[in-house]
Structure formats: structure tokens, C-alpha cells
Amino acid sequence: MASFVQRMVGAAKLDAATYEEVEADIGATGQALVVVFLSYLAIIIGNLGTGQVNVFANFVGGLLAWGTWIFLVWLVGVKLLPEPATKSDVGELVRTTGFAATPGLLRVFGVIPLLGWLVVIVAWLWTLAAMVVAVRQALDYQSTPRAVAVCVIGFIGQLAVLYLEWKVLSTVMAA
């Protein structure tokens, strides 16, 4: 069994075997949640230079959006677009997508003037690629395009939830 750091490195390398390992290891759930926590912390730190950071709202909103995304991926991937070999539960998706958040740690460099935005874009695209691998492995897909489709559908749903969260939080903060 790989160490926590080795799992993070394997996830960042888009190594399918790493995702299979964390999918099967129920004990890796806590580790996956730590990666998500650290990733959102890095995003908040990286956004500090923008002056538009509400730490509580960003952190809670991010975690709610991630949870929504996982649920939508499970719903679409397992119930609407399964392959014959597909069988998965939300825990497997929590573990695999949690580790797929590893490249998000680079978003801490968003604070770097002039260069930070480029690092943020690279980290975002890298995380998206890791999410596709994580979903493909967790849902036992043979088809990467199917995993991409499930991720895109889940992402659109997540954006809708983020928008609603933003509207609610904006209203609450303004009051």
C-alpha cells in the first residue's frame, strides 16, 4: 500500500493504478478528504491577491459544490450512463475524486502577480484531467469519452449549484 504522499503523487500523475488503489481502500476516505481540504485552502490562499475572498463562504461553498458534483457524477454515471461493468458507490467516488483534487494544491501560487493566473489555469485543467481518470476508474468504465461526458454533465450541475449558493450567500451577507 502506498503512503499518503505517494498516493497524491500517483493521482497527480494520472496513474490509473493509484486511483484503483484508493477506490478499493475504505481507509483512504479520510486521506481523500484531507486532499480536498488542502486543495480548497490552496485556492483560498491563491485568491487572496484578488481582494474578493470571503474565507468562510468560499470554503463552505467549495465543499458543497464538490459534494454536489460527486453526487451528480454518481447519479449520471451509475444510473443514467453506466457501462455493463459499472458498479460504484459514493464512497468510491469520494476517495478517487478526493485524490484527483491534488493538482489544485498548485492554486496557492495564484497569489503571484502576473503569473498566478496562468498557474491557476494549468492547475484547473490538470485537476479536470485527474477527475476524468478518477471517474473512469471509480465507475469501472472502459471508455474515457464516457467518463468525460459524465464529468461534464456533473460539472454543469455543479456550476448551477455554485450559482445558487452565490446568490443565497450574497443575499445573506448583504443583509
Q: Where are the alpha helices (DSSP H) in the chain?
A: 4-12, 16-24, 29-47, 55-74, 90-100, 116-138, 144-174
What digits encode the pLDDT tens for the residues 10-45?
999 999 999 999 999 999 999 999 999 999 899 888
What digits encode the pLDDT tens for the residues 59-90?
777 788 888 889 999 999 999 999 999 989 99
CA distance linking residue 133 with residue 139, whole number of Å: 10
Identity of the amino acid at 49: G
In order of 22, 102, 115, 129, 135, the CA distances from 4 in angstroms are 10, 11, 30, 20, 20
CA distance linking residue 174 with residue 170, whole number of Å: 6
Residue 25 DSSP class: -
Reported pTM: 0.89
For the chain, which residues make up each domain, given as ranges? 4-174
